[in-house]
Structures are given as C-alpha cells and as structure tokens.
Amino acid sequence: MENWLHKRVMLTPHRVAVEYQQQTLTFSEVEQKAIALAHKIASIAENELRIGLITTNNINGYLMIMALQQLGKQIVFINRRLSVREVNDQITDADLHVILVDDGYSQQLDIDDQISFQQLQQCEATAKSVIATEFPDDFVTSIMYTSGTTGKAKGVMQTYGNHFYSAVGSALNLGLTAEDEWLTVTPIFHISGFSILMRALLYGMRVVLVEKFNAHDINQQLKCQSISAISVVPTMLKALLADLSTAERYNAHFRTMLLGGGPIDRATLDKAREHGIPVIQSYGMTETASQVVALNMQDATRKIGSAGKPLFPVSLKIANQMGQPVEKGLVWLKTPTLTVGYLNRPYQLEQNVRDGWFNTEDFGYLDSDGFLYIEGREGDMISSGGENIFPDEVEKTYLALPDLEDIVVLGIPDNKWGQVPVAFVKGEVTGQQLYTFGQAQLAHYKVPTKFYQLSHWPRTASGKIQRKQMQTMINQATELEI
C-alpha cells in the first residue's frame, strides 16, 4: 500500500489528525512536521533499521512515530515505567544503538545514543533522507515487548498488514468513521494505544491524546467535547463511573467505550448502562495487534463474563494442545493480524502455531451461541490436589460481592496440596465475609485459603496485574482474619 500518512493527506489534508492539550494538527501539518523530523533522525541514525522510542501520550511522541515510519524504520516501543535494568535488557535484545526519549525521561541508559526530543529538534538535517513511498504489508513497523506477566518479555513484531486487518476488524465491529474522535489515554507504546493511531490514519479520524489517566478530567472531556470513543481497562471504567453523579451523561456523540485487559462484573456493566455508556468488551493481545474478539452492549448482560465473538477477519476454535477440537480447552486463533514472530526468537512462534492456527495459551470455551468465555491463562492456572483452578473464574465470582472493589487470586506452594489459592483484595470487606461468600458460591478447593490487603498493586502499562511479582509481596501485605 501507499505510505499511509501521505495517502491520508491526499484524501483529507485539512482534517484534524491529532489533538493534545488544545493543540491540534491537520493531517497535512502532521506530514510536514513528520518529514522535517525524519530528516533530523536520518542525520544521526540513517543506517539503523531499528530505533527505540520512549514516550508518553503527547504530540511530540506521536510525531516521532510518524517520522520513524516515513523513514521506513522499525520502531521498538519501550515502556517508560520499566526499571533501567529492564530497559537495558530490551535495548540489548533489540540490538539498539539509538533511542529517542521524551523530555521528561531522565534515566541514563546503556546505549550509544540516547537523544531527547528537544535535543533532536536542535539537530540539523545534514541531508534530505529518502521518504518511504510505500508501506509493504509484510514490513515490520512496530516491535512491542510483551508485558512479561508470565515470564521474560519477548519482542512481538507487528507488520503493516497486521495493523491494517486489525483496523478493518475494528471498523466492521464498531462502525467507526472519519467523524469519530478517539480519546487515547491507554499508552501509545502499548498495542491498545498504538493501534488507535494506526486506525486513525486509515479512517481519517481525530485522535485526542491524554498523557495521564485522571477519572474526573477524562469525564469532563467525555461530557464537554465531541469524543465518540475511548479505550479503557476495568480499573479505568470503575474509576470513571465512581466519579459520575447519578444524572450525568457523556456528550451526544459518544458511542463506544472499548473495554479490554480483563473481566468485568455485572454491577459495573449495570452502572455503565444507567449512565448510557455503551461498553464493548473485547479480547486481544500484543501478538494479534489488538482486539480479535468483542462483545457488544446488546449482549453484555445476557452473556455476562463472555469476551464475545471473533471479529470478521478472525477464526476461533477451542482445542487441546495438539489442535484437536474439544468442548473446553485452549483458545486457538487464525487471523491476518497475527504477529510474524518474536524478535531474535525465530522458532518461538512456531511452538504455538499448528496448521496456521495460533495457540493463545488461554483456556476457555464457546457456549451454544458461539460466544467465547475465557477461564484463565495456562500460566496462571493453579493446580491444587489434582484440581485445576483458574484465577479468572474465582475473581469473576467474587466481584459480585457488595463492597468488594477488586480482587486478584494466585497460587502459593503448599506441602499437602501442591498449591492453594490466596487472594489480594480491595474494599470494605472482612476476611470472614470473603471466606463465607466463597464457600457459598464456589467449590471448596477454589476458595482462597487466605486474604490479603496491599497498598500497592503491581501492574503493567496496560493495567494488567503482574501476578508473579505479587506473589513475592505477600510478606508486605496485611492478612485479613477469617
């Protein structure tokens, strides 16, 4: 395909492409600034295929992304919340020699050239670099390291073809058009944020960048501006709803709140419905360039707990490790959005692919209407006395308990049973209430044996709980008496 940005400028040069803190740029202005930046980048990194990027959701970070794509570079997105050691590990893994960092990033990294956005702006373009005229479908444009919740992070390689079909599936599911405005508060270095930028080029819609999530501020924007869509994770949705008064509604153009990153409870969905907020639950991953399964608002109540149905370009089946169909088992996908592989791990993806089907390593099942239900992640499964316990199932059950705000279930070693489940909780609930509720709602072996409260819950940039890290924090937690 033609260079996406240039094609969009040919079609709608004067339409607003991006907004950040009341500053707006049209697609034509974005192209001009991106090309100017591209020439500066080329003067210091012309021979580098991959360039690292650390940024928040700001307009300069957005322009850096566009500039790197104009040069035909592979962008290695790095989470700025990682420790210096973790960032250096990813720099080494990606064989990076140049990294661009936003002006607020002060850590010194182990790399040849660490250049802030301001320093780059002061560089002189020594020569006019070659601007990409085409974006080949099979070209790897973005590399994102998986959150590492179940092990060492891997660099997921995403092509323009992956992003194109992801955008097509999203448009067919959500009915998006050029008139939409998508508020982007999920990190643009994560697939949930970056995919919005890619969709926007194809649809010609406006992206409204927000650097930090603040429920009250976001609600003000959703009420007073013509925002039509936003992506959130469950913790964000709950915070937004808690900040709204009974009669408050979002603006008349608002029509989509895309929810990812974990299960949601009926009480939260009911509260969203009371405020007229259409919540579209979804399921996806970095390896599939964002959402591949979604549940619309019309089915949300009667299919509570479901991730929905596969989007148009996506095929889905439930099978065992060998790919043979079973009623309950692993979720397998066949989709043009699937990554072409993991950086420097040429055989890693092959281990999870059989006859074109990708094993997500998530356990689940399809109901009689074809709706997908995720029971949990293979790596999260707790094996207790020969019984398999999926934390997601236990967490969903407990979220129906009044006054319980959040819960995370994980397994700890046990001499008798091998493993037993324990839980971290937030809310005005006692240990006895939690234990009694579990005994009434769950098989006895699924009920957490201990309940803890912790001041800080470790999360990834996308809002997912880091279970492995949480296991190491039990000694810092307060145990609730049962």
Do 205 and 104 belong to one domain?
A: no
Answer whether residue 227 is part of any domain: yes
- Predicted pLDDT of residue 464: 72
Mean pLDDT for 383-389 is: 77
What is the C-alpha separation between 96 and 105, in angstroms, rounded? 18
- Domain assignment present for residue 140? The answer is no
Q: Is pLDDT of 275 > 80? A: yes
- Lowest average pLDDT, out of 175-179, 206-210, 390-394, goes to 390-394
- pLDDT averaged over the chain? 92
Last residue within a domain, chosen from 343, 359, 378: 378
Asked if 116 and 131 sit in the same domain, the reply is yes
Q: Are residues 198 and 75 in the same domain?
A: no
CA distance linking residue 336 with residue 192, whole number of Å: 17
- Whether the per-residue pLDDT at 381 is higher than 60: the answer is yes
Task: Looking at mean pLDDT, say which of 184-198, 405-419, 436-450 comes out highest.
Answer: 184-198
User: Is a pLDDT exceeding 50 seen at residue 150?
Assistant: no
Residue with tokens 């092509």: 159
The verdict on residue 141 lying in a domain is no
352 and 400 both lie in a single domain: no
The domain boundary residue, chosen from 324, 358, 378: 378
319 with 417, same domain: the answer is no
Q: Are 238 and 364 in the same domain?
A: yes
- Is position 82 within any domain? yes
Total tally of structural domains belonging to the chain: 3
% of the chain beyond a pLDDT of 70: 97
- Does 157 fall in a domain? no
pLDDT at residue 147, as a whole number? 59
Q: How far apart are CA 74 and CA 65, in angstroms?
A: 10
pLDDT per residue over 240-265, tens digit each?
A: 999 999 889 999 999 999 998 776 77
Q: Identify the pLDDT of residue 97.
A: 98
Q: Look up residue 347 and give its two tokens.
A: 């055989």
User: Locate tokens 């207790």: which residue?
Assistant: 384
Q: pLDDT (tens digit, 9 = 90+) per residue, 350-359?
A: 999 999 999 9
Q: Is residue 350 part of a domain?
A: yes
Q: Could you tell me if 232 and 220 lie in one domain?
A: yes
**Domain shared by 373 and 361, yes or no:** yes
Does 386 lie in the same domain as 374?
A: no
Main-chain dihedrals φ then ψ at residue 397, nearest 5 degrees: -65, -45
| CATH code for the domain of 57 | 3.40.50.980
> What percent of the chain has pLDDT above 90?
72
Tokens coding 469: 């890290």
What are the tens digits of pLDDT across the range 35-79?
Answer: 999 999 999 998 999 999 999 999 999 999 999 999 999 999 998
Considering the domain architecture, whether residues 235 and 257 belong to the same structural domain is answered as: yes
Mean pLDDT of 372-390: 79
In this structure, are 278 and 187 located in the same domain?
A: yes
143 in any annotated domain: no
Parent domain of 340: 162-378
pLDDT band at 333 (very low <50, low <70, confident <90, very high): very high
CATH of the domain at 311: 3.40.50.12780
What pLDDT, on the 0 to 100 scale, is given for residue 149? 44
Tell me the mean pLDDT in the region 271-297.
Answer: 92
Maximal CA-CA distance, the chain:
72
Residue 348, classed as helix, strand or coil, is coil
Q: Are residues 324 and 391 in the same domain?
A: no
- Inside any domain, residue 427: yes
Question: Rounded to whole angstroms, how far apart are CA atoms 218 and 223?
Answer: 9
